[in-house]
C-alpha cells in the first residue's frame, strides 16, 4: 500500500474545496438502480432533489468519499500506475455532491466525483450481450468491491473517436474480456472529464462481487492491464473494499 502525500494532481486540494462548498447529498447504497442501460444508469429521482436552494442537482453525479465513515471498509489502496491516494479507513458512496461539512473537523482524506453517462464505444451486438449478462451493483451477496480511479494520457485524448474505438476493442478486446466475468462482477462507470470541478482522474470504475469471485476479478484485471488500451493509462489506483455486516 502506498500513502504518498497529496500534490496538485491529487484530489485532496480540489476535493476539499468542493466538499466544503457542496450541497448536501444522500447516502447511496447502490440498491436503487435499474440496470436497463447497463453502465449508463441514472441515480434515482430522489437523489435529484438533494441539492440546496437554487442549485440544480445532477442525478447522474456520484461522490466517493474516503474518510472515517461509510458503508465500505477500505482493505487496501494500491498505486498501480502513477501516484496513489492518501490512506482512508472507510469509503462512503453518495448520490450527488458530497455533503457539506461546514464547521466540522471531520474532513475526509479525499473526495472523487464522476457522472454516469451514455456509452461511447459499444456496438449494438455488444450492447445486447452486455444487457443480457450484466448484474446490478448492490446485490446483497456482493460483499466485496473495488473502486479503481483511472486517468488516461494526453495521447489518448488527442485521438479521434474511431481511433479510440479501434484501440479499445479491435486491438484490445476490453469488452470481450469483461463479458467473460459477467454476471459475477457488477460494474458502474463514472466519467470525470466534463465536470465543473477539476478532477484528478478521467474515470471512476466501481465493481462489486461475492468474496468467492475475487480471484476471478483479479484474473480479469491481469488480462486488462496487459492490453494495448492500458498503455494509455497514466494513473490507476486500486482500492479494495469490504462491506461491514
Ligand atoms: C466486469 C467486466 C467489464 C466489462 C463487461 C466492461 C465493459 C466496458 C464497456 C462496454 C465499456 C465501454 C462503455 C462505452 O461504450 O462508453 C467500458 C469502458 C471502460 N472500462 Fe470496462 N469493463 C469491465 C471491466 C473493467 C475493469 C476491471 C476496469 C478497470 C480496472 C474497466 C475500466 C473501464 C474504463 C476506464 C472504461 C472507459 C474507457 C474510455 O471511455 O476510454 N473496465 N468497459
Q: Report the CATH number that the domain containing residue 224 is assigned in CATH.
A: 3.30.70.3420
pTM: 0.84
Residues whose beta carbon lies within 6 Å of some atom of ligand 1: 119-122, 130, 148, 150, 174-175, 178-179, 181-182, 185, 187, 189, 203, 205, 220-221, 224
For residue 1, being part of any structural domain is answered with no
How much is the CA Rg of the chain, to the nearest whole Å?
Answer: 17
Phi-psi region of 29 (alpha: psi -120 to 50; beta: other; left: phi over 0): alpha
Residue 3 lies in a domain: no
Which pLDDT score, from 0 to 100, does residue 211 have? Answer: 98
Of the residues 175, 217, 236, which should be mutated to test ligand 1's pocket, given the most ligand atoms within 8 Å of the CB? 175
What is the span of the domain harbouring residue 195?
A: 11-243
User: How far is ligand 1, taken at its centre, from the CA of residue 240, in Å?
Assistant: 18
Confidence grade of residue 245 (pLDDT, cut at 50, 70, 90): low
- At 57 the three-state DSSP class reads coil
Q: What is the pLDDT of residue 10?
A: 42
Mean pLDDT computed over 206-215: 98
pLDDT at position 244: 84
| Rounded mean pLDDT, 102-125 | 89
123 CA distance to ligand 1 middle (Å): 14
Place of cell 478486446: 173
Please report whether residue 173 resides in a domain: yes
User: What domain count does the chain have?
Assistant: 1
Q: Which atom of ligand 1 is nearest to the CA of 233?
A: 35
HSE (CB half, 13 Å, CA atoms) of 42? 9
For the segment 222-238, the average pLDDT, to the nearest whole number, is 98
Residue 5 lies in a domain: no
* Span 155-196, pLDDT tens digits: 999 999 999 999 999 999 999 999 999 999 999 999 999 999
Instruction: Label the pairing between strands 90-95 and 26-27.
Output: antiparallel
Q: Which atom of ligand 1 is nearest to the CA of 126?
A: 10
195, part of any domain: yes
Residue 201 located in a structural domain:
yes
* Cα(60) to centroid(ligand 1), Å: 18
Write out the three cell numbers for 245: 455486516
**What CA–CA distances, in Å, run from 219 to 33, 130, 143, 177, 180?**
27, 19, 19, 10, 11
Distance CA 123, CA 125 (A): 6
- Cβ pair 71, 93 in contact under 8 A: yes
pLDDT in tens, 18-27: 433 333 333 3
In this structure, is residue 119 part of a structural domain? yes
130 within a domain of the structure (yes/no): yes
Give the pLDDT score at 20.
33
Name which of 6-15, 65-74, 104-113 the model is least confident about.
Answer: 6-15
Q: Give the position, in ligand 1's atom list, of the atom nearest the Cα of 118.
A: 16
Average pLDDT value for residue range 41-70 = 69
> Which atom of ligand 1 is found nearest the CA of 202?
35
Distance CA 45, CA 32 (A): 10
Amino acid at each position: 500500500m502506498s500513502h504518498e502525500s497529496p500534490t496538485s494532481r491529487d484530489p485532496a486540494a480540489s476535493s476539499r474545496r468542493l466538499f466544503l462548498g457542496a450541497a448536501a447529498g444522500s447516502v447511496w447504497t447502490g440498491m436503487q438502480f435499474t440496470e436497463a442501460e447497463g453502465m449508463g444508469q441514472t441515480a434515482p429521482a430522489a437523489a435529484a432533489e438533494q441539492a440546496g436552494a437554487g442549485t440544480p442537482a445532477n442525478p447522474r453525479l456520484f461522490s466517493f468519499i474516503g474518510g472515517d465513515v461509510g458503508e465500505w471498509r477500505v482493505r487496501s489502496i494500491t498505486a498501480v500506475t502513477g501516484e496513489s491516494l492518501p490512506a482512508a479507513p472507510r469509503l462512503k458512496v453518495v448520490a450527488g455532491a458530497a455533503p457539506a461539512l461546514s464547521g466540522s473537523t471531520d474532513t475526509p482524506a479525499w473526495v472523487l466525483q464522476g457522472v454516469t453517462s451514455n456509452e461511447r464505444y459499444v456496438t449494438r451486438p455488444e450492447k445486447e450481450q452486455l444487457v443480457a449478462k450484466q448484474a446490478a451493483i448492490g446485490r446483497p451477496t456482493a460483499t466485496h468491491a473495488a473502486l479503481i480511479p483511472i486517468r488516461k494520457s494526453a495521447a489518448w485524448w488527442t485521438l479521434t473517436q474511431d481511433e479510440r474505438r479501434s484501440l479499445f476493442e479491435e486491438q484490445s478486446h476490453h469488452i470481450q474480456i469483461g463479458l467473460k466475468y459477467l454476471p459475477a462482477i457488477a460494474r458502474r462507470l463514472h466519467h470525470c472529464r466534463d465536470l465543473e470541478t477539476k478532477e484528478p482522474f478521467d474515470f471512476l470504475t466501481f465493481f462489486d462481487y461475492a468474496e468467492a469471485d475475487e480471484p476471478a476479478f483479479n484474473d480479469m484485471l491481469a488480462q486488462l492491464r496487459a492490453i494495448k488500451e492500458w498503455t494509455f493509462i497514466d494513473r490507476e489506483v486500486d482500492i479494495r473494499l469490504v462491506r461491514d455486516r
